[in-house]
């Protein structure tokens, strides 16, 4: 492995993207094979690099700023994850996106995103980091635009929200740069105090914004409806989570040294906890599978942020582990939803039901992933959530652990509702029996692989924890030198796990209660909560997008613009357009009135002038 | 002395004619004659410069101006003055004159003059030797006057369409 | 040829050549157009042939003594070469586009004469090393600009042209007063002789008037949106290649690489331009006339260039220099796309457009690319310039100003995407067709260049950095 | 033979009416133009060489005997002579076509030549009374020329002009009398010597004020300007051009400058008064011009405003200021002459002077429109034309002497100037062609040629300002400000 491999890691998908764009639409198979091959090569490279783990490469770039790439434990791991998802989603797309009218663009954007994401992960300099990071905005916009008729609205929304976060990050980077004097990330290590604290917050906004935490999440549920489902599995579920949390971890561990119990740590935990609870409450009442999943994609980010925000080793490890776990099961879930959509033509919970019989593999994959996300023992979600709980408790603020548990309750409740409505229960009357078939294998394989990974990472959790997570945390000395995963009980039989299990049982109870109240209709299972006194009002407001940062932000922007335009710009223009003319004609009018054509008048001026001049000359002479 | 009296009498006669003449042109010419005589009187009283200037300015120039004015007003409309101006102008003029009188009196009393700058020389000398350049000017003024009258009293050929 | 000769040719080939355009026009229209294009190409080529010189750094001063210290001085250094290349190249592309665009208009002789003269004067301004000659070319540009804005000769249009001329002239004469004050203080009009000399705040204020009026900074900006009534090629020329850049160029030449700003101004100017940028972005959001939106966008972006130079950090200055190029490419692209759209739909109000992506995909994509570049999204060129400007501002300790600038960037994002959506996406409201080949070719070239400038950033940035090193050199 | 400048035009003008009997057009055209061209060439070559050793005083001989006609030629007068012949020649060229329909061309040329002779005489004379006399020579000719159209409006304007001019003459005469009474001398240097001996500041001040009023009225400085907006537009276009371009400068500005410097030695009081008179004229007249719809009236007010600049520049009193003022005098003479000529072309083509009735004439009269634009831009002080450099020098001189307020006025007034010239451009030339003028034709050859010649001079002055400045303006300014 030569250092240039790092560059090829980025260039390969980029060139593939160009090649994919160039493949004519009429040619069959070439595009798909090309995509698969290059995804596979990327995955291979990622594996190879993961084995090496220590490389750096740099080249002259922006004047004195160099294009610095650096590979070590952490990026190598993320890179592997990204490449893996790229491959799986490409495989899935082979069938799912086959008939999409702009399929070549789709592949091109996917591979471009991959290239940019690889670049962002490998960058060891803020400038290339921002370059790749913000470059993802373009592919984000493009990919969402590929959806339905109104997709461009959502695309704009996603673009602007992400842009906001990225700009915040740029400002943060600027401050970091002026404090530390270098753009090379590995040379920086600041204490988040004073201006550095501001920089921390700004960079954090960039990171969690990418990951889709509240309040920067609102485009995700919209995209779930408008954008292709593969995009959802690819970007919000996998890539953006990995990138966002990766950067958050780097911010908390490398660039700044976050102290447990510090104000910033609390801030992060508050954001995490709020995201968990609020997003899951929204997820609970959704009637569309993709929308429901998308809210979970937001909610789960809360756990990661909470974990990293604790700044204690177990919490950080939990957050990171949750990141990779979440990417697996959430991709799996989106892909299953895509599979359902592919065959049943809809993801509306009200129109689905009993699909387990027709689509058993999909149903199985979905179930495993759903249980994993709900934190059911012994799946991977259970382990990582436990670690987060431990971390939260270790900081001494029980409230955050409580919030995490509340999240767990409703997560499970909403997945019970979703799974029940889609795969179990009665078959929907609208659907003729036998019409729906299981999806083709290329779609199923990714789902199954992801489900299996969920099981593996859960059951044999020591393996990923010691192989992947521990070295990462360990490489940041203060945080996790002695983390060996034995100090905290991660099995079923301890108090914390007990509380978690109790939460799950409670969730089951809620579901059953709601199911019965809703006249045995699974999709109505969340209605009791939906219509509870306080919640109803909140949900109504949320429905009207009162809490949507974008909608409110746009209103603010428009209002501000209007004020600036009418209040400053137009008055200034009036000064030139009307004011100057008015003053000119006023003076002119006055003077013209004096010139009335009477000789005597003029003579009087002349004589008056003479008197004045004589007086002036004489005064001035003295 | 007799010559002086004759000159004075002639000047008065010319002036009276200038006032009484109904034809404005003749009046102007009469005024010129009157000024001319005045110039000679100045000279004879030992003020050759005053004489020369009197002839230059009044006899030459003013006459031309008068003739020109007559030529202009003959064809032009009357210049109408508004009532306010009629009142305002004399008032202003009065004030101006008063100020002028007082200030000028004060100043004129104090106007210093160099010693020994008395005028000297004969009329011919002053006119020919000292002020000969003005002679050309006077010729030019008269030429201009003649040309002006020619121009203003020309047949309005090709101009009537305006 | 020596650099001196090349530079003199760069300035005088277009200026003198422009005078011959109507003469050629007497012979044949095609020959005239070809001749004008050739002059544009020659200018761009001559300017670019100085590039190797720019990369070496250092400067050459050409001097021809005249009376009263009004010497004719040319300064050939990386800054002037960079600016000359950017302007002449974009100007050349616009001339090519014009071939198709104004084919059916009257007064084409005058049009080409003025455009070439415009570019030539720009070259003169860029290389001028004497304040008075800077002013001289400045005003020749104003004259060209005035005639070109009123090109369609409608009463209201000519009024707007007069407005533009008067406001910029007002600013310019006030600036001239400032120049004279400087002359009084330093005893020279020679820019090269006054590096590092302190000047009074009054002079700075007066000079800023001129720069702000030309580079359309609030409150002397409103003529620029009104100038949108000009043919689109002209607006593109004004916004991208020449006119509005001369204020910032002069700023760099005088305040960064010239005399020293008195204390207080270095802090005040960034705030003025940042707020100007914000106000203009707000106005762009409210406007619905296609070209007015873009015009306000220019005003807003100019603020960044000023900001970069005003903070006087290396990153800021490099960023601002790059910004001139990037904004030139992208804004020219945006205007020329707008030109194609307006040409095809005969509408100017974006609310009456829609769904044009289908009928003119290349134009739409070019527009989007250029919009991304203007917003500052990687991998487009505009990203680097904006990023460096922000970095420079933060480095200078003006975090709040940088924050406002970034907020403006969000607003930029909002209105440009909104415009793109309104014009190219959604329901098709009017039948339309793609522009002529030369027109589309030019916008595509500009879009691709916007992208390429980002992907191959190391080339322009090396040049920009050499420039910065050169002009900041005396500060140390 | 410098005396030719006075004698030749006078002689020719005397015979011209007779020549006119023989040939109504061709001979007068040729004769008048040849005289002016010859004098111009002589000014540019021979007279220039004469001056190489310093100021020249020539004694005229009459039949072998020295008569007391002494004419003084220094840099300043030479510069003025040059300007006078240059503009007059262009105007005479223009008249070849323009004066066709007025008739009596020979008489017209004769008057024009008398006026030129008057101006030349004024410039060459070196004593107060001669100045006065030649002032009147030029003035008398100009009254007749203003009224040359013989319409009611023209006659009224000429009458008003005459009436106010007489007041001016009276003031000048009183001033001369005062000085003569004090010093017993009339020659500039002699009077100056006398005044130095007397140290009578107050009375000298009154005399200076009288001169200021008298010549100020000729120069149409505010508040003595009221005759000009009537007189200048009423005259035939070439005459307007001479009046605005030359007469007000020679009989007003030149006389003021000569007397203020050479007789009074420009005390600072006089300098202040001059500068402020100039400044007030600049601003007030600019505003007045702004409100005009009559093209020539606008130009007339503009003349007042620009003469303000000239006086402002000269009033500064430093060599640089004087140079700026004189340079502006030159530039304004060219540009305003040009503008009046083009306005004449427009009037002849369309029959109107009302800007509101015109529109888009550039389409039909490209040469006229183009030259008009050049003149307008030059006067507004837009580089690279001549007017820019002169204004620049004036402003530099103002700043150098610390007159910041005046500098600001001078600068801002040039925006006003540009404003009204843009209005003129917009309403007359730059815009859509108005329906009724679709058949308008470009001006005839000589009219166009004269305009183009002037326009080229304006451009040339701008581009080769350094040469013009160092070879003509600088010696003139030195002659005035430094006294050699």
Range name among A272-286, B130-144, C36-50, C322-336 with the lowest pLDDT average? B130-144
Domain coordinates in residue numbering, chain A: 125-547, 551-621
Mean pLDDT of chain A: 83
Percentage of chain A exceeding pLDDT 70:
96
Neighbours of chain C (3+ CB pairs under 8 A): A, D
State the DSSP string of B38-62. HHHHHHHTT-HHHHHHIIIIIIIII
Please give the pLDDT value at position A584.
87
**CA A302/CA A278 separation, integer angstroms:** 10
Q: Is the pLDDT of residue B77 over 70?
A: no
Angle between helix D4-22 and helix B132-152 axes, rounded to 10 deg: 30
Nearest CA distance, D244 vs chain C (angstrom):
26
Shortest alpha-carbon distance between residue D9 and chain B (Å): 10
Q: How far is CA A454 from the centre of its chain?
A: 22
Sign of CA dihedral D315, D316, D317, D320: negative
Q: Are residues B145 and B70 in the same domain?
A: yes
pLDDT score, position A360: 83
User: Are residue C277 and residue C230 in the same domain, yes or no?
Assistant: no
D381 touches chain C (CB under 8 A): yes
Cβ–Cβ of B89/A601 closer than 8 Å?
yes
Nearest CA distance, C400 vs chain A (angstrom): 10
DSSP structure class, residue D428: I
**Residue B14 counted as domain residue:** yes
Number of domains forming the structure of chain B: 2
CB-CB under 8 Å, A170 with C390: yes
In this structure, are B94 and B125 located in the same domain? no
Q: Does A466 touch chain D (CB under 8 A)?
A: no
Mean predicted confidence (pLDDT) in A136-163: 87
The full length of chain A comes to 622
Name every residue whose Cβ is closer than 8 Å to that of residue A220 and which is 6 or more positions away in sequence. Answer: A158, A212, A236, A294, A295, A297, A298
Both C324 and C227 in a single domain? Answer: no
Between chain C and chain D, how many beta carbons pairs sit less than 8 Å apart?
A: 88
Count of domains forming chain C? 2
Higher pLDDT, B78 or C114: C114
Note the pLDDT of residue A96: 78
pLDDT exceeds 80 at position C84: yes
How far is Cα A599 from Cα C26, in angstroms, rounded to an integer? 53
Contact call for D411 and C132, based on CB within 8 A: no
Asked whether the predicted pLDDT for residue B158 surpasses 70, the reply is no
My answer on whether B73 and B127 are in the same domain is: yes
My answer on whether B62 and B87 are in the same domain is no
Average pLDDT rounded to a whole number, residues B88-115: 64
8 A C-beta contact, residue A45 and residue A12: yes
Residue D63: what pLDDT? 59
Best mutation target, D118, D130, D140, D182, to test chain B (most B CBs within 10 A): D140
Residue D249 phi, psi dihedral angles, 5° rounding: -80, -40
Which pLDDT does position D337 carry in this prediction?
93
Q: Given C262, C291, C314, which residue is the final one in a domain?
A: C262
Higher-scoring residue by pLDDT: C462, A99 = C462
With CB atoms and an 8 Å threshold, state whether B57 touches D67: no
Query: Is C421's Cβ below 8 Å from some Cβ in D?
Result: no
Judge: C177–D407 Cβ closer than 8 Å, yes or no: yes
Report pLDDT for D483. Answer: 66
Q: Residue B161's pLDDT band (boundaries 50, 70, 90)? A: very low
Residue C205 at interface with chain D, using a CB cutoff of 8 Å = no
Across B83-87, C210-214, D21-25, D427-431, least confident range? B83-87
Q: For residues B132 and B71, state if they share a domain.
A: yes
Closest CA to D333 of D297, D364, D378: D378
Contact A157, A550 (CB under 8 A): yes
User: What local confidence, expressed as pLDDT, does residue B162 receive?
Assistant: 39
Mean of pLDDT values over C346-362 = 86
Distance of CA A157 to the CA centre of its chain: 13
B80: pLDDT strictly greater than 50: no
Q: What is the mean pLDDT of residues D263-286?
A: 90
pLDDT band at C353 (very low <50, low <70, confident <90, very high): confident
Q: What is the pLDDT of residue D223?
A: 85
Are residues D386 and D461 in contact, defined by beta-carbon separation less than 8 angstroms?
yes
Tell me the per-residue pLDDT of A176-214, one tens digit each, with 9 for 90 and over: 888 888 888 888 888 878 888 888 889 888 888 888 888
Residue B160, pLDDT above cutoff 50 = no
> D213, D233, D271: best mutation site toward chain A, by most A Cβ within 10 Å?
D213
Q: Is the pLDDT of residue A351 over 60?
A: yes
Nearest Cα neighbor of B114 from C302, D184, A69 is D184
Range of the domain at C197: 1-262
Q: What share of chain D has pLDDT > 70, as a percent?
A: 96
Nearest to C421 among A156, A174, A557 (CB): A156
Instruction: Indicate the helix (H) or strand (E) that contains A65.
Output: strand A63-71
Question: How confident is residue A100, by pLDDT bands cut at 50, 70 and 90?
Answer: confident
CA dist D124 → C299, C417, D118 (Å):
58, 75, 10
What is residue D254's predicted lDDT score, i.e. its pLDDT? 92
Q: Is residue B160 part of a domain?
A: no
Distance between CA atoms of residues D189 and D262, nearest Å: 7
Distances in whole angstroms, Cα of residue C164 to Cα of each of A570, A602, C246, C331, D392: 16, 38, 15, 20, 22
- pLDDT grade for D61, boundaries at 50, 70 and 90: low
Residue-range definition of the domain harbouring residue B26: 2-78+121-152
The residue ranking higher by pLDDT, D276 or C57, is D276
pLDDT, residue B151, reads 75
Residues 6+ apart with CB under 8 A from D151: B162, D234
Same domain for B49 and B94, yes or no, is no
Least CB-CB distance to C153: which of D320, D360, D393?
Answer: D360
Res D457 pLDDT > 60: yes
C-beta atoms of B129 and D68 within 8 A: yes
Using an 8 Å CB-CB cutoff, list chain B residues near A619. Answer: none
A–B interface: beta-carbon pairs under 8 A: 26
A599/B92 CB distance under 8 A: no
Q: Give residue A25's pLDDT band: very low, low, confident or very high (50, 70, 90).
A: confident
Whether B86 and B71 map to the same domain: the answer is no
Q: Which of A39, A121, A49 is nearest to A84 (CA)?
A: A39
Provide the pLDDT for residue B79.
43
Q: Are residues B33 and B94 in the same domain?
A: no
Nearest Cβ partner for B150 among D17, D134, D158: D17
**pLDDT surpassing 80 at residue A274:** yes
Q: What is the mean pLDDT of residues D106-133?
A: 89
Domain boundary among C232, C262, C292: C262
Residues B86 and B74 in one domain: no
Element (H, E) at A63: strand A63-71
C65 band by pLDDT with thresholds 50, 70 and 90: confident
Mean pLDDT across the stretch D156-174? 84
Averaged confidence pLDDT in chain C: 88
Kindly indicate the confidence band of residue B121, based on its pLDDT and cuts at 50, 70 and 90: low
The complex's ipTM? Answer: 0.84
Whether B118 has a pLDDT exceeding 60, the answer reads no
Is A613's Cβ below 8 Å from some Cβ in D?
A: yes
Query: In chain B, whose CA is at the least distance from the CA of A610?
Result: B96
Backbone angles phi, psi at D72, to 5 degrees: -105, 135
Interface contact flag, B92 A608, Cβ < 8 Å = yes
Chain B residues in contact with D205 by the CB 8 A cut-off are none
Mean per-residue pLDDT, B81-106: 63
d(CA A584, nearest CA chain B) in Å: 28
Q: Is D90 helix (H, G, I), strand (E, B) or coil?
A: helix
Chain A (558-577) residues lying within 8 Å, Cβ to Cβ, of chain C: 558, 560-566, 568-569, 572-573, 575-577
| pLDDT given for residue D304 in this prediction | 92
Q: Which residue has the tokens 């704009």?
A: A156
Please enumerate in sequence order all residues whose Cβ is within 8 A of that of A469, keeping only pairs 6 or more positions apart, or say none.
A317, A320, A321
Out of D167, D206, D291, name the one closest to residue A606 (CB): D167
pLDDT-derived band at B76, boundaries 50, 70, 90: very low
Residue D449: what pLDDT?
A: 92
Q: Chain B: nearest CA to A574, how far in angstroms? A: 40
Identify whether residues C22 and C143 lie together within a single domain: yes
Interface test with A, best of C317, C394, C464, C472 (most A CBs within 10 A): C394
Judged against a pLDDT cut of 90, whether residue B133 lies above it is answered with: no
Across the range D139-147, mean pLDDT stands at 87
Q: Are residues B87 and B69 part of one domain?
A: no
Check pLDDT > 90 for residue C447.
Answer: yes
Which of A124-128, A481-485, D12-16, D216-220 shows the lowest per-residue confidence on average (mean pLDDT)? A481-485
Contact residues, A window 458-477, toward C, CB-based 8 Å cutoff:
none
Please tell me the pTM assigned to this model.
0.88
Please report which confidence band the pLDDT of residue B88 belongs to, taking 50, 70 and 90 as the band edges. low
C17: Cβ–Cβ under 8 A, 6 or more apart, which residues? C35, C39, C42, C116, C120
Q: How confident is the model at residue A487 (pLDDT cuts 50, 70, 90)?
A: low
DSSP-derived 3-state class of residue A99? coil
Domain annotation covers residue B98: yes
Query: Pick from A486, A308, A453: which is nearest to A381 by CA?
Result: A453
Q: B66 CA to chain D: closest CA distance, Å?
A: 10
Min mean pLDDT across A387-396, A424-433, D191-200 is at: A424-433
Q: With a cut of 90, say whether residue B106 has pLDDT above it.
A: no
Q: Which residue has the higher pLDDT, B80 or A207?
A: A207
Q: What percentage of chain C reaches a pLDDT higher than 70?
A: 99
Residues C294 and C374 in one domain: yes
CB A110 within 8 Å of CB A149: no
Task: Clarify whether residues B24 and B51 are in a common domain.
Answer: yes
- Give the three-class secondary structure for C153: coil
pLDDT > 60? residue B159: no
Quick check: B111 and D178 CB within 8 A? Answer: yes
Task: Please give the helix or strand (H or E) that residue C450 lies within, else none.
Answer: helix C437-455
Give mean pLDDT, residues A497-502.
82
Q: Do chains C and B touch (3 or more CB pairs under 8 A)?
A: no
Residue in B89, B96, B99 nearest the CB of A600: B89
């Amino acid at each position: 492995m030569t250092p240039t491999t790092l560059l090829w890691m980025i260039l390969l998908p980029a060139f593939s993207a160009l090649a994919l764009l160039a493949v004519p639409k009429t040619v069959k198979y070439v595009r798909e094979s090309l995509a698969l091959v290059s995804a596979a090569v990327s995955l291979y490279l990622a594996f190879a690099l993961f084995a090496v783990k220590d490389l750096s490469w740099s080249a002259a770039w922006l004047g004195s700023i160099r294009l610095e790439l650096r590979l070590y434990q952490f990026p190598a791991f993320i890179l592997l994850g990204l490449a893996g998802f790229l491959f799986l989603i490409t495989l899935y797309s082979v069938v799912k996106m086959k008939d999409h009218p702009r399929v070549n663009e789709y592949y091109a954007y996917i591979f471009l995103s991959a290239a940019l994401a690889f670049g962002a992960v490998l960058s060891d300099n803020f400038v290339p980091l921002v370059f790749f990071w913000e470059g993802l905005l373009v592919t984000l916009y493009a990919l969402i635009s590929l959806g339905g008729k109104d997709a461009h609205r959502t695309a704009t929304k996603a673009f602007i929200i992400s842009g906001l976060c990225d700009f915040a990050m740029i400002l943060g980077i600027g401050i970091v740069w002026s404090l530390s004097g270098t753009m090379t990330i590995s040379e920086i290590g600041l204490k988040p105090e004073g201006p550095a604290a501001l920089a921390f917050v700004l960079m954090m906004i960039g990171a969690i914004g990418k990951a889709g935490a509240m309040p920067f999440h609102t485009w995700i549920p919209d995209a779930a409806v408008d954008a292709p489902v593969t995009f959802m599995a690819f970007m919000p579920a996998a890539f953006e989570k990995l990138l966002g949390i990766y950067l958050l971890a780097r911010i908390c561990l490398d660039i700044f040294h976050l102290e447990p119990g510090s104000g910033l740590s609390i801030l992060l935990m508050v954001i995490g906890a709020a995201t968990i609870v609020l997003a899951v409450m929204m997820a609970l009442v959704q009637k569309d599978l993709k929308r429901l999943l998308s809210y979970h994609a937001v909610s789960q980010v809360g756990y990661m942020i909470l974990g990293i925000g604790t700044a204690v080793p177990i919490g950080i490890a939990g957050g990171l582990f949750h990141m990779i776990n979440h990417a697996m099961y959430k991709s799996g879930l989106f892909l299953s939803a895509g599979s359902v959509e592919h065959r049943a033509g809809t993801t509306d919970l009200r129109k689905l039901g009993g699909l387990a019989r027709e689509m058993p593999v999909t149903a199985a994959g979905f179930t495993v992933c759903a249980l994993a996300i709900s934190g059911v023992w012994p799946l991977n979600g259970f382990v990582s959530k436990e670690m987060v709980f431990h971390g939260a408790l270790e900081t001494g603020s029980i409230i955050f652990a409580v919030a995490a548990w509340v999240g767990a309750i409703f997560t499970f409740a909403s997945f019970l509702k979703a799974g029940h409505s889609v795969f179990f229960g009665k078959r929907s009357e609208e659907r003729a029996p036998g019409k729906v078939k299981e999806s083709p294998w290329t779609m199923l394989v990714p789902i199954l692989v992801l489900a299996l990974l969920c099981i593996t990472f859960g059951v044999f959790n020591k393996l990923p924890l010691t192989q992947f997570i521990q070295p990462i945390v360990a490489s940041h000395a203060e945080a996790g030198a002695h983390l060996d995963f034995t100090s905290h009980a991660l099995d079923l039989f301890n108090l914390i796990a007990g509380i978690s299990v109790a939460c799950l049982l409670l969730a089951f109870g809620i579901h059953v209660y709601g199911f019965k109240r809703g006249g045995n209709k699974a999709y109505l299972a969340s209605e009791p909560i939906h219509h509870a006194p306080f919640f109803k009002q909140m949900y109504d407001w949320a429905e009207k997008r009162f809490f949507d940062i974008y909608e409110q932000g746009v209103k603010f922007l428009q209002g501000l613009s209007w004020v600036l335009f009418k209040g400053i710009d137009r008055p200034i223009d009036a000064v030139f357009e009307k004011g100057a003319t008015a003053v000119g004609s006023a003076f002119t009018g006055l003077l013209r009135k004096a010139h009335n054509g009477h000789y005597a008048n003029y003579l009087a001026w002349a004589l008056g002038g003479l008197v004045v001049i004589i007086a002036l000359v004489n005064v001035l002479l003295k | 002395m007799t010559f002086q009296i004759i000159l004075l009498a002639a000047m008065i006669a010319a002036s009276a004619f200038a006032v009484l003449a109904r034809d404005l042109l003749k009046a102007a010419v009469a005024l010129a004659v009157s000024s001319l005589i005045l110039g000679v009187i100045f000279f004879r009283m030992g003020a050759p410069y005053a004489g020369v200037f009197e002839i230059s300015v009044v006899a030459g120039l003013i006459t031309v101006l008068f003739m020109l004015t007559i030529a202009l007003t003959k064809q032009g409309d009357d210049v109408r003055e508004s009532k306010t101006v009629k009142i305002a102008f004399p008032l202003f003029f009065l004030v101006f004159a008063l100020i002028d009188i007082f200030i000028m009196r004060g100043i004129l009393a104090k106007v210093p003059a160099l010693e020994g700058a008395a005028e000297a020389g004969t009329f011919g000398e002053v006119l020919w030797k000292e002020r000969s350049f003005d002679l050309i000017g006077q010729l030019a003024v008269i030429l201009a006057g003649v040309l002006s009258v020619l121009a203003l009293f020309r047949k309005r050929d090709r101009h009537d369409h305006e | 040829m020596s650099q001196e000769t090349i530079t003199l040719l760069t300035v005088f080939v277009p200026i003198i050549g422009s005078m011959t355009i109507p003469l050629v026009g007497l012979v044949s229209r095609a020959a005239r157009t070809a001749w004008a294009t050739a002059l544009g190409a020659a200018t761009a080529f001559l300017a670019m042939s100085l590039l190797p010189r720019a990369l070496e750094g250092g400067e050459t001063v050409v001097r021809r003594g005249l009376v009263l210290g009004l010497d004719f001085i040319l300064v050939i250094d990386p800054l002037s070469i960079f600016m000359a290349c950017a302007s002449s190249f974009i100007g050349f592309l616009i001339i090519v586009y014009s071939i198709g665009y104004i084919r059916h208009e009257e007064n084409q002789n005058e049009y080409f004469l003025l455009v070439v003269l415009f570019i030539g004067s720009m070259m003169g301004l860029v290389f001028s090393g004497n304040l008075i000659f800077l002013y001289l070319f400045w005003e020749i540009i104003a004259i060209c600009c005035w005639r070109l804005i009123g090109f369609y000769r409608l009463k209201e249009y000519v009024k707007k042209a007069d407005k533009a001329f008067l406001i910029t002239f007002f600013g310019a004469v006030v600036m001239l007063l400032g120049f004279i004050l400087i002359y009084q203080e330093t005893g020279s009009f020679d820019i090269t002789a006054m590096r590092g000399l302190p000047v009074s705040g009054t002079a700075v204020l007066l000079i800023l008037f001129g720069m702000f009026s030309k580079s359309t900074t609030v409150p002397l900006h409103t003529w620029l949106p009104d100038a949108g009534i000009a043919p689109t090629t002209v607006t593109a020329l004004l916004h991208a290649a020449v006119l509005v850049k001369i204020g910032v160029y002069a700023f760099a030449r005088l305040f960064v690489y010239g005399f020293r700003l008195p204390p207080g101004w270095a802090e005040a100017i960034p705030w003025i331009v940042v707020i100007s940028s914000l106000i203009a972005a707000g106005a762009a959001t409210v406007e619905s006339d296609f070209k007015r939106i873009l015009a306000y966008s220019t005003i807003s972006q100019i603020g960044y260039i000023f900001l970069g130079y005003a903070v006087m950090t290396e990153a800021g200055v490099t960023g601002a220099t790059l910004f001139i190029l990037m904004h030139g490419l992208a804004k020219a692209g945006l205007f020329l796309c707008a030109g194609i759209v307006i040409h095809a739909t005969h509408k100017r109000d974006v609310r009456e457009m829609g769904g044009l992506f289908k009928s003119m995909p290349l134009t739409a994509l070019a527009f989007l690319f250029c919009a991304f570049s203007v917003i500052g999204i990687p991998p487009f060129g505009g990203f680097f310039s904006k990023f460096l400007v922000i970095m420079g501002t933060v480095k200078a300790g003006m975090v709040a100003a940088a924050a406002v600038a970034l907020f403006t960037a969000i607003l930029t994002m909002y209105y440009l995407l909104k415009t793109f959506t309104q014009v190219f996406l959604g329901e098709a409201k009017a039948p339309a067709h793609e522009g002529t080949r030369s027109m589309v070719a030019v916008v595509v070239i500009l879009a691709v260049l916007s992208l390429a400038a980002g992907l191959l950033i190391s080339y322009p940035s090396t040049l920009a950095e050499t420039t910065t090193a050169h002009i900041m050199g005396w500060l140390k | 033979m410098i005396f030719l400048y006075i004698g030749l035009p006078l002689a020719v003008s005397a015979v011209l009416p007779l020549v006119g009997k023989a040939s109504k057009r061709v001979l007068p055209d040729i004769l008048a133009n040849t005289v002016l061209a010859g004098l111009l060439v002589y000014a540019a070559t021979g007279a220039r060489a004469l001056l190489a050793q310093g100021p020249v005083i020539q004694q005229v001989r009459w039949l072998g005997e020295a008569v007391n006609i002494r004419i003084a030629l220094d840099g300043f007068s030479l510069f003025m002579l040059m300007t006078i012949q240059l503009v007059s020649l262009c105007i005479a060229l223009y008249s070849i076509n323009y004066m066709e329909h007025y008739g009596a061309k020979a008489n017209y040329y004769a008057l024009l030549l008398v006026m030129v002779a008057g101006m030349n005489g004024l410039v060459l004379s070196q004593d107060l009374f001669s100045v006065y006399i030649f002032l009147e020579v030029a003035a008398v000719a100009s009254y007749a020329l203003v009224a040359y159209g013989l319409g009611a409006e023209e006659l009224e304007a000429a009458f008003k002009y005459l009436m106010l001019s007489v007041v001016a003459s009276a003031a000048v005469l009183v001033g001369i009398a005062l000085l003569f009474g004090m010093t017993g001398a009339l020659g500039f240097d002699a009077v100056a010597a006398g005044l130095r001996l007397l140290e009578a500041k107050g009375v000298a001040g009154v005399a200076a004020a009288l001169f200021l009023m008298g010549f100020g009225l000729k120069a149409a400085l505010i508040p003595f300007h009221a005759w000009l907006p009537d007189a200048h537009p009423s005259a035939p276009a070439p005459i307007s051009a001479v009046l605005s371009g030359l007469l007000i400068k020679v009989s007003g500005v030149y006389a003021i400058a000569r007397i203020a410097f050479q007789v009074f030695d420009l005390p600072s009081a006089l300098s202040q008064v001059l500068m402020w008179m100039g400044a007030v004229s600049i601003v007030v007249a600019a505003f007045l011009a702004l409100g005009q719809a009559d093209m020539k009236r606008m130009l007339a007010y503009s003349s007042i405003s620009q003469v303000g600049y000239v006086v402002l520049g000269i009033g500064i009193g430093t060599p640089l200021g004087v140079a700026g003022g004189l340079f502006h005098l030159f530039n304004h003479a060219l540009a305003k002459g040009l503008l009046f000529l083009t306005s004449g072309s427009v009037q002849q083509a369309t029959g109107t002077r009302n800007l509101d009735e015109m529109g888009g004439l550039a389409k039909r009269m490209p040469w006229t429109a183009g030259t008009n634009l050049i003149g307008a831009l030059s006067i507004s002080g837009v580089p690279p034309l001549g007017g820019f450099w002169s204004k620049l020098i004036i402003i530099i001189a103002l700043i150098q002497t610390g007159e910041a307020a005046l500098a600001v006025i001078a600068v801002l007034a040039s925006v006003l100037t540009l404003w009204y010239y843009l209005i003129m451009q917009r309403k007359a030339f730059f815009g859509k062609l108005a329906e009724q003028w679709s058949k308008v034709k470009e001006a005839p050859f000589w009219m166009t040629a004269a305009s183009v010649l002037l326009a080229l001079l304006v451009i040339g002055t701008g581009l080769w300002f350094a040469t013009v400045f160092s070879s003509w303006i600088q010696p003139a300014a030195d002659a005035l400000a430094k006294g050699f």
